[in-house]
Structure 1
C-alpha cells in the first residue's frame, strides 16, 4: 500500500470531533493519547505487540488529497473550514511505544501519541485497527510456535479471511516464528519466505493418483511434498514412494485423526526405506492440537483458520485514550472502562537469570522507578516530528525479540491452560 492514502481508514466521529474542536478553539491543545489493553484475552498469559512498523508507515500516509477531500465534501461529513484544515494535515507529533515483537501485559503503554488534539485524535481508529489485529495474530501464533517446540509451521490462512487481512496475518505469523507463508503477496510485500505444492484438486484432475504424483514430481522434483489423503492414505503413501523413490521430500496429511495417521505413516515410510521423508500435517490445527501432537512423528504443521482468527481471540482488545491535556493528567472514570491519567512508560524487572518478574508502569512526570541491573526499559521512540525514527527494528530483529521474550517468561506463563498473566503489572 506504499503511497496510498490511509486517511479514510478511520471512523466518521474522528472528523466530527475535529470539526467541533476547531470551532470551539480547543483543537490546538497539546494532548497525549495512550494505547493499552485493560486485560488480556480470556485465558491468555501474555500478549505480543504486532503491527508497530505498519502503524508507523500508515501514519506517514495519513494525508487528505483531492479524492479524500471530495469524498468528505460530497457526503457532508464536515464543514468547509474543517476541509480546509484537513487539506494541509500532516501528523507532526511524536509516537513512542513498545517495539514490535515485545511482550505486553494488562496496562502496558503500548503506543503513546503526542501532538495537538486535532492531529492526534484522527489517528485513533487507524492505530487501533492495526495494533489490535496484528497483536492478536502474533499472540496466537507465538503460542502455536511454543507448542510446536522447534518444529516449523507453515501459515496457510489466506482462504479463511479478508484478502488484505491475509497479508498482514502472514506477516504477523512470520514475526512470531512461523517458518513460511503460502501468501504470495505477503512474500512480495514483506520478503517473507513462501511455500506451497498441490491441493486435492490436482490429484482429482488426473486419471489416477499415480498420474498426479508423477506429474508433480516431474515438475517440482523429488524434494516436493505429496498430498496422500485424497483417497486412501496407506495406498497413497505406497504410490508416492513408488513414484518419487525413497528420497521424497515429504508427505502431507490434511484430514482425519492426524496423530494416529502420522504414526502409521512413519512406520510405513520407514518400512519402504523413506526414512528421511518428512510428515507434514494440516487441517484445522490450533495451539492445543499442535501441543497434543508433540509426541507424534510430525515434522511440520500447516495452520490456517485458527491463525487468521487469532485462535478464538481475533482482537487484542486495545483502546486509545486521552491521558494528558496541556500537561494536565486526565482520566476516564466510567465503570469497567477506567484509564489511568498521565503520560506513562514502563520497565520490566528480571531475575539475574533473565526470568521476567513484573511489568512496572509509571507516569513520566513522577519520580522514575529505580531500575535494577537486569531490568529493561520498554518504551522506545517511533516517530519524531511526524517522521519515522531511523533505527526501527527489522523483521529479523522483531522475530528475535519474540524468541527472547518467550524465553524470559516464567515456565507457568507458557502454559496453554487458563490462568493469570505470566507476570503482574505494577503501577508506580
Structure 2
C-alpha cells in the first residue's frame, strides 16, 4: 500500500499539469479528448493499434470532423501531443483514459473484447500511483466487475496502490454548439480518493464536472441518456407510420407541438438509428437486467421499431415508384442521398443507410450514392460488399440516369434546389425539402 504522501503526489502532478496523460483509442472520442488534454497543458500520448491513425496524428492530419488539422499540427509540433502504437509506453503515463469501442455481438449482447484486452495491456505495466479511467459506454457494473479484477491481477489494489474511475463520453459529432471541453463531464471514482483524482483531472480539462457516488451510477447515467433518446425516436417513428396511414404529416404535427413551452420535447423520425451510441447502448442495459430477472419492455420495443424503419422506407420507395412512374423496384435505378448516420458528419457507424442498401441489393436494385462527407465507403466488418463504393457527382447528368432519389441523410452541403428541379421521384425520410420550402408533386415523405 502506498503512503498518503504518495497519494497526494499524483493529485499535485495533475494540478500543476506535470502529469503525463495517455489516451487509448484515437477515434471519435479519444482524439478530441487527447487534443483537449494537450490544450489544457498536459503532455499527452495517444495510443492506437491502427498505424494509419498514429501516422496521421504525427503529421498533423486530422481524420475526425471535430478536430482541425491546424490545431493538431500545432500541438504535435509543440510536443504536447504525440501518438504511438507502442503500448509499452503506458507505464510512463500518470493518467490513462480508455476510449475503445464497445459494440454488440451478433446476438446483440455486449462485446467487451476491446475493453478487456486493453485492461490486460494496462495491467502488464500498471504501477503505483496511476489513475485509470474508463470512458467507453457500457452497462452498470463494468468498471468494478470487469475492469478492476483484470487490473488487480498483478497484485496492486484499486484505491490503495492505483486508482480507478469512470466518466462516460458525451460526444455529439456534427454539433457545433458543444465541444469536448464545454459538455458537462459526469465523473465517478472507485473510492473517495479515486473520485478526487478523477475530479481534479477532468476539472483541469473541461469547463464543468458533475460528480456522482459510484462508477455504477456514472455508467447508468450514459445508458439512461441514450435509452431516453432511443425510446422517444421510436415513438415518433411509430407515430409517423400511424399518421401517414391517416393522411397526416407527422412533421407538421411535431412542429406545431413544439410551440408548447412546457411538457413537450421534439424528437424527429428518420430511416432508422445510427451512430455508435443510440442503436447499441440500450441493449447493454437489456442484457444486464437479465441478471436481475427484470424485463426491459420499452427498450426492446423501441429497438424493434427503430430496426424496422429501413424496411418501411424501402416500402415507401417501392410505392412511390409504382404510383408516380409505374416502375417496379427491381427495375429502378436509385440514387441514395447520404451514407453518414447524421447530417454534416462523415461518421458511418451503424448508419441505417447500409441496412437500406442491403435491402435494395437483395431486391436486385441498381443504386449509387452521393454524400459530400463520405467520398468512398471504407472497409467495414458489417458491410464488406459496399467497400470501395464511391460517391457519384450530383449534377444534371446524374438525374438523367437515376429514376429516383432516396434522401437518407440531410447534409447541408447538398444542392436540394438542383435535386427538386431535376429528380424524377424523391422519397424524403428527413423532411429536408419541406423544411426548405421546396415543393414538387414528385416528392413523397417516408
TM-score, reference length from structure 2: 0.25
Q: Which has the higher contact order (CA 8 A, sep 6+)?
A: 1
Which is strand-richer, 1 or 2?
1
TM-score, reference length from structure 1: 0.26
* Larger Rg, first or second structure (1 or 2): 1
Which is helix-richer, 1 or 2?
2
